[in-house]
Amino acid sequence: MNKKVVVQELGVKDYKETWDFQEELFQETLQIKSSNRKENKNVPTQNHFLYVEHPHVYTLGKSGDFSNLLISEEELAAKNATFYKVNRGGDITYHGPGQIVGYPILDLDNFFTDIHKYLRFLEEMVIRTLAEYGLKAERSKGETGVWLDVGTPFARKICAMGVRASRWVTMHGFALNVNADLGYFDHMIPCGIKGKAVTSLNVELGKAEVNIPEVKEKLLKHFAELFEADLHTDVE
């Protein structure tokens, strides 16, 4: 099993461009697996972890409800935001500046073949990271992602998740609000869940801004621990 994970920092990148890049890596991995199976070969598959920040964009999962987007195309344009219907699970979500977006493109045959466990590990990575900032983050039953004050009238989501998997290869991932402009969440029903608030790490800590590279390092540390991954920043 190849537990090497190549980490790439893409910087600020258009959502569609990043989606196309994910799809390219995803299809490459599927092709290797298919060839191995057909030709009885054992070529190792590659694992990737992409970090990116998107300009303002709303995305709707394949089973999502378009009515959860609360503004028109004209209003989207006025807010310099775009919209895409995508091939991940989950409903509607928002990506934008001040948010850490991570896309692990993993061949789970290299780790464990269990999508439920995969999602729980991604959540745990975020929970452990937020604990380093003194926050008690949790899962909310039946609602993928990471929350604060679960089970109270003050429950609020700090990290959204939505993934796609085929033949144990993953794509899409998580979006953690660090210094996010929460006003953009007012234009949708986050993840299709009515009556739940959204928050950001800087708001919870009472800071104008949190150091994003520091948060990224902590996330990767916990990712490596949970997945027993060998992280590399080189691109081969």
Tokens of 82: 């775009």
Nearest to 90 by CA among 157, 182, 152, 28: 157
**Whole-number Å distance between alpha carbons of 165 and 40:** 23
Residues serving a catalytic function are: 191
